[in-house]
Amino acid sequence: MNFVAATHNEKKKEELIRILKPLGIGVETAELPPVEETGKTFAENAYLKAQSACGATGKPVVADDSGLSVDALGGAPGVYSARYAGEGATDAQRIEKLLNEMKDVPAGKRAARFVSAICCVFPGGRVVAAEGRCEGPVAFAPQGDDGFGYDPVFLVNGKSYAQMTPSEKDAVSHRGRALEKLVCELEKLSRSGYNNKETGK
């Protein structure tokens, strides 16, 4: 089974390939038109991206929309995670803005979660979706040199995503959990006899 990855984020693309390959899912890239993310939820934005890419390529597509939701900030940055510090901001600038807004939030009140909504759209119109979450506090300062986005300030069992090896992160991350659920749904679809041409088999 093969899908086009509907993302312009190279780091996210790497994670999709890394997590899905051992599960028997191939991921390829394509030149895709930009998509205005007007959805109010991660799931809505994932669908918008997958639908657009499927229409442009005529192939099955997998898309992810994800972000960090912080309780003390009323759920922000949420669906605006990538644009939290303005268009074109760097990861460091987004983290700086987040930590500045949380500078007076004590350790016991820094609860947050990463959310990943995954959506597959097939040329025949079939949609398969899944969501994964990972709970953890926001650190007071960046920790670790790996990962991307808000990884250096999101802690799981006292360790930031950016301090984990790729395999450690994939085992606990929101995206890893969402993709595992997605594969289960795709296997159900395959067993139901859904058209192999549609599923890219």
Residues 6+ apart with CB under 8 A from 107: 137, 140
The per-residue pLDDT for 196 is: 45
- State the CB neighbour count (10 A cutoff) for residue 107: 9
The catalytic residues are 65
Please state the pTM of the whole predicted model. 0.90
Residues 6+ apart with CB under 8 A from 195: 124
Q: CATH code at 187?
A: 3.90.950.10
The per-residue pLDDT for 189 is: 83
Tens digits of pLDDT across the chain (201 residues): 889 999 988 889 999 999 998 888 899 989 999 999 999 999 999 999 999 999 999 999 999 999 999 999 999 999 999 999 998 899 999 999 999 999 999 999 999 999 999 999 999 999 999 999 999 999 999 999 999 999 999 999 999 999 999 999 999 999 999 999 999 999 888 787 665 445 444
Residue range of the domain that includes 58: 2-199
Distance, in Å, from the CA atom of 87 to the CA atom of 4, rounded to the nearest integer, reads: 25
The per-residue pLDDT for 22 is: 85
Tell me how many domains the chain contains: 1
Distance, in Å, from the CA atom of 174 to the CA atom of 200, rounded to the nearest integer, reads: 25
